[in-house]
Structure 1
């Protein structure tokens, strides 16, 4: 039996629109907060039983059509020799950021089982516990987003150091992006082998680029990550970034099976730019989940109607769920989407 969400990824006929939500396992859930009181964030990621417990919490509570493994895009960088901590009020910090060519040369090869074995074990636990009909997502940061964190040493508003390396030292940029693409491919393949049946590549910061810079400095590496992961696994691949609506035709060239949309563009308009031969994922503004239920329902219905009954739509928020989102609203949204039928259906 092929799972509903996997059929949607492949644009096969489905009886309804599948739904999952980015950051569906997280701080808005009281059961998550109870676990978080006992563990630091990286401790949760690196203890397979805890990561599996948190992954399963929203499935048990709300019954989404897919689980996404509780992990983070940055810990794999530790395998290259980068020193990562999560600081209260500051977020992720890389204490030995990449600044000169010698830093790139010193990066170690990434070995999935040795570096990320805790996430792979969590995947195995979750796959065994999930309902047979529920898909399981693995994921990785995209090469550019990983490079941005590694170079900046954390989050950034301007990505100045990252762009300066791109422009002034293209040879170093190519070497770094090649190494990070190798990491992404190896990590995604290992996750599929551990039980993931769909994977998502998060390019969280690529929206900081112009379309021209994305095409020149980033797109070739995403294309390689997608092509090599698909050749090795055959599973559907989702590519997602925010603030990228000015370069949608370029995203079509990534080769991903499913392309994400954030809430800054109508789903119908974004899908038309991508072309209807790819699936789309999106795109409710996550802040909408704080609105009264009738407003949430109205906006969710508008998104579903824009899909116009075409195969290949996966309902999601256009970014991660926000802290303090009412759990009742998440429950009602999942129920509404799973029970909705496009008005034009027979």
Structure 2
């Protein structure tokens, strides 16, 4: 598909090709820091925005119109997957993800379904097609999903948490049921991402937001083996980016997975990320999102230093996690512009 894109810098970086400058996009770029997004948010609740293709596609292209990133990421949420599995998440104002009756017993796990994603998540596929129409072949579109472990955390905890103690307790007291739920999420996610590729996304990213909550041994058992299944199932269809927050200890394993790129958070220095990942795979990251509160001139200087530290090839400039809601729009612009003007 890359041949029809006017700007395929992002896809070339994923392939490891040499580029004049690295591509740039920002996690959560379609969202809460943009005044045009806030206008839509005032009219429609969160999941209405996700489930209405006209709204999701409009939100996806808003930051592209404003800043001209090298890739768009579909506006959606990782929780649309458990919703399709019959786990009725809502987004509670002031709380975030909320599940009235969390999964707490093996019997609860048995009730979870593996849905037909083509029908239950049709609105996502429609949003992809609509977004590509709006992008008109300018840049690639990224689809995403949460890692099975991260989805599992919300399903068992029932809401966000500093330590996901209930989720971990379930793994350690009901390992068989925990693995059964993780496998159901994995199977659904594979079908979901394959459908997204068929609908027109050019790459997919897996977000393991809570992988860093686990010890390296438990990470292997409860998170990585399921991520590996997804990478294996998708890698011949599309480039796959794996982003595990706080998972620097797994970069060497991830680099051998068949993924095209690995996301790195801001707590791991570029040189160490290259070393841990073996130096042959494309890396993505890892500007501290809070650093976008620095003056624009500082942002520019730090972005150029970051590119030099990672090297311009096999590198995608991004934040080390999602952009914060309180970032001035001009500072986000300074971040993107700094990459575009980069010259060795």
Instruction: Settle same-fold status: TM greater than 0.5.
Output: yes
Deviating beyond 3 angstroms after TM superposition, the runs of 4 or more aligned structure 1 residues are none
Contact residue 248 and residue 270 of structure 1 kept, 8 A = yes
1:304 equivalent to 2:307? Answer yes
Q: Once structures 1 and 2 are overlaid, which stretch shifts more, 268-277 or 315-324? A: 268-277
- Superposition pairs for residues 96-175 of structure 1, below 5 Å? 96-175=101-180
- For residues 211-240 of structure 1, give each alpha carbon's deviation from its aligned partner in whole angstroms, at most 9, with x where no partner exists: 111112221111101101224x2x110011
Give the Cα separation in 2 of the matches to 1:333 and 1:163: 37
Partner residue of 2:281 out of 274, 278, 288: 278
Contact residue 222 and residue 254 of structure 1 kept, 8 A = no
Partner residue of 2:261 out of 239, 243, 258: 258
Corresponding residue of 2:217:
212
Contact residue 31 and residue 57 of structure 1 kept, 8 A = yes
Shift of 1:171: 1.2
Contact residue 264 and residue 320 of structure 2 kept, 8 A = yes
Give the Cα separation in 2 of the matches to 1:161 and 1:297: 42
- Unaligned runs of 5+ residues in structure 2 are none
Shift of 1:245: 2.4
Corresponding residue of 2:25:
20
SS at match of 1:99: coil
1:245 equivalent to 2:248? Answer yes
Partner residue of 1:42 out of 38, 47, 51: 47
Contact residue 299 and residue 334 of structure 2 kept, 8 A = no
Corresponding residue of 2:328:
326
- Superposition pairs for residues 41-60 of structure 1, below 5 Å? 41-60=46-65
Contact residue 145 and residue 203 of structure 1 kept, 8 A = yes
Give the Cα separation in 1 of the matches to 2:59 and 2:188: 25
1:178 equivalent to 2:183? Answer yes
Give the Cα separation in 2 of the matches to 1:23 and 1:78: 21
Give the Cα separation in 2 of the matches to 1:296 and 1:339: 13
Shift of 1:253: 4.2
Corresponding residue of 1:92:
97
Shift of 1:112: 1.3
1:226 equivalent to 2:228? Answer no
Contact residue 215 and residue 250 of structure 1 kept, 8 A = no
Structure-2 change in CA distance of 1:166 and 1:254 (3 Å):
farther
SS at match of 1:178: helix
SS at match of 1:175: helix
Shift of 1:98: 1.0
Give the Cα separation in 2 of the matches to 1:255 and 1:101: 33
Contact residue 146 and residue 207 of structure 2 kept, 8 A = yes
Q: Once structures 1 and 2 are overlaid, which stretch shifts more, 329-338 or 282-291? A: 329-338
Partner residue of 1:30 out of 24, 29, 35: 35
Q: Once structures 1 and 2 are overlaid, which stretch shifts more, 53-62 or 287-296? A: 287-296
Q: Once structures 1 and 2 are overlaid, which stretch shifts more, 253-262 or 116-125? A: 253-262
SS at match of 1:272: helix
- Unaligned runs of 5+ residues in structure 1 are none
- How many residue pairs end up in the alignment? 339
- For residues 52-88 of structure 1, give each alpha carbon's deviation from its aligned partner in whole angstroms, at most 9, with x where no partner exists: 0000000000000000000000022112111111111
TM-score, length-normalised on structure 2? 0.95
Q: Once structures 1 and 2 are overlaid, which stretch shifts more, 168-177 or 119-128? A: 168-177
SS at match of 2:145: strand
Corresponding residue of 1:339:
341
SS at match of 2:141: strand
SS at match of 1:37: helix
TM-score, length-normalised on structure 1? 0.95
1:290 equivalent to 2:260? Answer no
Shift of 1:131: 4.3
1:72 equivalent to 2:77? Answer yes
User: Alignment RMSD, CA only?
Assistant: 1.3
